[in-house]
């Protein structure tokens, strides 16, 4: 079980160029301990090797959001469709729209999710440190 989102067994990245057809990766519902509402994730690349990246294609139903969490080496989000709400601990809720990119600094506690008005999809990339790319901290309510 992948502790990052509660999905697949982690491994290492392929040793050579690899094309992963979208149809070969089944979207799975993210564990309720890691999200409020319905969230589906497709694990594109998973790894437990320090310094390697993990990548996920993630879809949030309207008003769904992740639990508070952080990433030891930071996270990049690329918003593919919809509007993403994102908040760092102690900060204001910010908005990112389709085409926007978001950088979350290492160890920065945050959550992200869809607005109440529609589905939101992003591609996330985060690096592994000490065997994990994500530290889960508890459910968010949209408050810092």
pLDDT score recorded for residue 1: 41
In three-state secondary structure terms, 24 is: helix
Q: For residue 24, what pLDDT is reported?
A: 81
Looking at 1-144, list the stretches that DSSP marks H as alpha helix, in order from N- to C-terminal side.
none
**Looking up tokens 């949030």, which residue turns up?**
60
Chunked in runs of 10, what are the mean pLDDT values of the chain (144 residues)? 50 80 84 92 88 93 96 97 97 97 97 96 95 85 54
Residues in Cβ contact with 118 at an 8 Å cutoff, skipping those fewer than 6 apart: 62, 82, 83
Q: For the residues of 102-125, what is the DSSP string, one character each?
A: EEE-TT--EEEEE-TTS-EEEEEE
Strand partners for 39: 60
Burial of residue 114 (number of CB atoms within 10 Å: 0-12, 13-18, 19+)? buried
Tell me which residue of 112, 52, 108, 109 sits closest to 79, measured CA to CA: 112
Predicted TM-score (pTM) of the model is 0.84
Locus of tokens 């760092």: 88
Domain ranges of the chain: 39-138
CATH for 39-138 is 2.60.120.10
Query: Tell me, what's the pLDDT at 49?
Result: 87
């Amino acid at each position: 079980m992948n502790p990052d989102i509660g999905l697949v067994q982690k491994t290492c990245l392929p040793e050579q160029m690899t094309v992963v057809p979208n149809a070969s990766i089944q979207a799975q519902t993210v564990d309720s301990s890691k999200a409020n509402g319905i969230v589906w994730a497709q694990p594109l690349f998973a790894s437990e090797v320090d310094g390697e990246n993990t990548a996920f294609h993630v879809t949030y139903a309207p008003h769904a959001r992740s639990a508070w969490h952080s990433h030891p080496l930071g996270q990049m989000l690329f918003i593919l469709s919809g509007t993403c709400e994102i908040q760092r601990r102690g900060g204001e809720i910010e908005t990112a729209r389709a085409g926007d990119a978001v950088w979350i600094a290492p160890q920065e506690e945050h959550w992200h999710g869809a607005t109440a008005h529609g589905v939101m999809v992003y591609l996330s990339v985060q690096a592994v440190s000490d065997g994990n790319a994500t530290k889960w901290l508890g459910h968010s309510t949209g408050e810092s």
